[in-house]
Amino acid sequence: MIHSRNRRLRVNQSIRSLIRENTLTTDDFVMPIFVMEGENKQEPIPSMPGIFRRSIDLTVKECKELFSLGVKSVNLYMKVSDHLKDNTGKEAWNKDGLMQNTIRAIKNAVPEMIVMPDVALDPYSIYGHDGIIENGKILNDATNDALARMSVSHAEAGADIVAPSDMMDGRVLTIREALEENGFTDVGILSYAAKYASSFYGPFRSALDSAPKDDMEIPKDKKTYQMDFHNSREALNEVYKDVEEGADIIMIKPGLPYLDIVSKVREAIDLPIAVYNVSGEYAMVKAAAQNGWLDNDKTIIESLTCFKRAGADMIFTYFAKEAAMILNR
């Protein structure tokens, strides 16, 4: 005779909901947003159906709608004009730059929206790299100084949390010290501590024109600073260092192919963990759904819930708005 029957707790929706271990809500989402110059402008990103580059005015409108749906955090990326790019990234800390003006506009229109600007030089670099280049190499410490200036500029504009995604050694400490020295003690740092050199970033790089340029004099990819996808123990080493340097939140990127990393980091630290459901993951689901191979809504909710089950506290995802609509229904 069978005494223990696990199916007793699956017999109907009410019981399944009662014992559910993880629940997905709109509070879990951070929406990445692409911003471009101009006014009343919106451009679709072909490889990411439903995602757009928008001018500041339309970005503010989008943020208002997101907040009304329950999505209370946005992550900002700039489509920088070519004539503003160089090897120093100096446009990144222009007080009247596109990023700074966007931060101010969002905070003025939706004060309670958490604004997390991306901190990296690749959108501002003529080479498409996350660092300053000299003699064919990425300069780590000089890049850190630039990232610190960029972070302080974001804080001055009203950013709540800065999000360095560059993977330079020691940049969290450099940024933390710069924020403290300039009086921004309440501005948080969300560190991309375990960011892998992944093939899943393709649609994102096309959206910002931030892929490394094909130049024999510079590295052809980002593997000298982003992590080798074969490794997992290395991720913990990176995370521990960023925690020691003053990170407030730890990011793992990409997401779905790296749930093992999310789980390992969750077991190792008590800080909040973010995970990035990246552009390639988004594009795959959308392509399959458009071909009728997957149920769009069910796949979105299942995928995002998997991040919670693995141990993530927040999810950066291009599905944020759509998922909020599904959950609100």
Residues taking part in catalysis: 195, 253
| E-assigned strand segments in 20-113 | 29-35, 42-44, 52-54, 73-78
Residue 259 CA, chain-centre distance (Å), reads 16
Torsion of CA 26, 267, 260, 289, to 10 degrees: -10
Of all helices (H) and strands (E), which one includes residue 161? Answer: strand 161-164
For residues 209-238, one letter each, b for 16 or more C-beta atoms within 10 angstroms of the residue's C-beta and e for the rest, the string is ebbbeeeeebbeebeebbbebeeeeebbeb
- Please state, in angstroms and rounded to a whole number, the distance separating the CA atoms of residues 284 and 290: 10
Closest CA relative to residue 311, chosen from 279, 270, 280: 270
Residue 238 labeled ligand binder: yes
CB 131 within 8 A of CB 166: yes
Annotated binding site for Mg(2+): 238
Annotated binding site: 238
